[in-house]
């Protein structure tokens, strides 16, 4: 059953992360190079302290282009107080949480430490794999 799959089975265990003191233009470059729309921001203790998204980066660009204020750091633009997810939550509940919070990704936390990230794409992949297995089982009957 699809609901028995848990987040840790499909989370990214080594996603791109940033520190709050990373220059925003460096973060934009990394997001573009990796073709991702955002990343978790962690501190020196590997605790998730926020998320930086393309939309947050757009605010930085507006500040440069419209207000003539130059740059800044990830910590100046990141979204703070981001909900996190437990690695043992089932994939359906993870999907519902992403929808509820209107987030594309969410940090996975274990014992207060950042362990990875679950994303909408990860959940879609879990569903695809489940459907393929289900279809194979049906074909073998």
pLDDT of residue 4: 79
Whole-structure pTM value = 0.83
Q: Give the chain's end-to-end CA distance (angstroms, integer).
A: 18
Category of 48 on φ-ψ map: left (φ > 0), alpha (ψ -120 to 50) or beta? beta
Query: Helix or strand or coil: residue 72?
Result: coil
Chain segment 19-69, per-residue pLDDT in tens: 999 999 999 999 999 999 999 999 999 999 999 999 999 989 887 766 666
Query: Helix or strand or coil: residue 106?
Result: strand
Expressed as residue numbers, the domain containing 92 is 2-139
Category of 24 on φ-ψ map: left (φ > 0), alpha (ψ -120 to 50) or beta? alpha
CATH number at residue 120: 3.10.580.10
Domain count, the chain: 1
């Amino acid at each position: 059953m699809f609901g028995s799959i848990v987040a840790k089975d499909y989370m990214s265990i080594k996603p791109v992360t940033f520190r709050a003191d990373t220059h925003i233009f460096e973060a934009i470059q990394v997001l573009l190079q990796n073709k991702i729309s955002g990343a978790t921001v962690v501190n020196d203790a590997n605790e998730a302290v926020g998320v930086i998204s393309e939309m947050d980066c757009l605010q930085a660009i507006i500040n440069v282009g419209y207000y003539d204020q130059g740059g800044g750091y990830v910590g100046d633009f990141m979204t703070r107080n981001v909900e996190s997810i437990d690695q043992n939550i089932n994939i359906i509940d993870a999907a519902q949480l992403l929808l509820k919070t209107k987030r594309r990704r969410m940090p996975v936390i274990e014992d207060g430490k950042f362990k990875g990230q679950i994303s909408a794409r990860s959940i879609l992949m879990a569903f695809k794999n489940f459907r393929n297995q289900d279809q194979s089982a049906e074909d073998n009957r």
